[in-house]
Amino acid sequence: MWVPWEEEDPVVWHYPGRKSVGYFGAVRLRDGKGLFRREPEMFDGATFWEFLRQLESASRVEGRTVMVITDNAKYHHAKLHADWRQAQQGRFVLDFLPPYSPELRHRPRIT
């Protein structure tokens, strides 16, 4: 969010409907192309597995390994797709961020 420097504490009003929109997404670093999937319901192991299969299919290139860096949400580790992930291990790998990253902590605001 950009706020003019003369504003000290801006007030941001949110839409009162309490509706949210959820997406799974991945960006290929080589060229910036993205793959996105809208998830109208809940994020869980089944919906994540559908996205992983779609991502694996779209990124399949002979002789290349695809590495997906993800956080530690429970559905990323779901037993539902553990066998599939293991079968893809040589060419499609999930790499999990550490559960606690002190270097990513909030830094104090510089004035």
Q: What is the pLDDT along the chain (111 residues), one digit of tens a residue?
A: 555 666 566 677 766 666 677 889 999 888 888 999 998 888 899 999 999 999 999 888 888 888 999 988 899 999 999 999 999 888 899 888 887 766 655 555 555
How does strand 34-39 pair with strand 22-27? antiparallel
In the chain, where the domains are located? 22-97
The pLDDT > 70 percentage for the chain reads: 75
Give the other-Cβ count within 10 Å of 84's Cβ: 13
**HSE-CB of 11 using CA atoms within 13 angstroms:** 1
> For 87-97, what is each residue's pLDDT tens digit?
988 889 988 88
The pLDDT > 90 percentage for the chain reads: 31
